[in-house]
Amino acid sequence: MSKRKLPMGEETLPIAIIEGKMLTPLQLKEHPAEFGLLVKGERPRFMAITDDLLIERVRQRYAQGREATIYRFVADGMKEIFPEDQIVEMEQRSVLGLEFIKAERKLVEEELRIISEAGDV
């Protein structure tokens, strides 16, 4: 059975904050103590995953020209949410923005599990 890998391009997005710096999975490998804990399935004490990190991930993903998903939100009608709207909603921490943040947090948690299982990025 082959090991799961991060989705293409995700290794270039920040995944955690260590010592006040947003680090990508590739940069995280340069911190052997913290990376070693992740590989063991443990969370480094000083590692943080903040809302601002999650918003920055979305911003960078769109800046890279990755295919943008258009979301539809139904409440008194239908509204299309485009990438720039998604980022604004997240920055404002609106009800919809908090849902986007929650979804991005789940993605980060899954990517950390993939790194842990694979033992690499």
Q: What is the pLDDT along the chain (121 residues), one digit of tens a residue?
A: 567 888 889 999 999 998 899 999 999 888 888 888 888 878 888 889 999 999 999 999 999 988 666 656 555 666 677 888 899 999 999 988 999 999 999 999 999 999 988 888 8
> Could you report the per-residue pLDDT of 70-97, keeping only the tens digit for each?
656 555 666 677 888 899 999 999 988 9
Give whole-number Cα distances, 9 to 6, 12, 22, 53, 119, in Å: 8, 6, 16, 16, 18
Specify the pTM: 0.86
Q: Which residues of 10-19 are buried (b: 16+ CB within 10 A; e: fewer)?
A: bbebbbbbbe
Q: Is 7 helix (H, G, I), strand (E, B) or coil?
A: coil
Indicate the number of domains in the chain.
1
Q: Which domain holds residue 15?
A: 10-118
What is the rounded CA–CA span in Å between residue 109 and residue 36?
Answer: 17
Identify the pLDDT of residue 2.
Answer: 65
**Residue 5 belongs to a domain:** no
**Residue 79 belongs to a domain:** yes
Sign of the alpha-carbon torsion through 48, 60, 64, 62 = positive
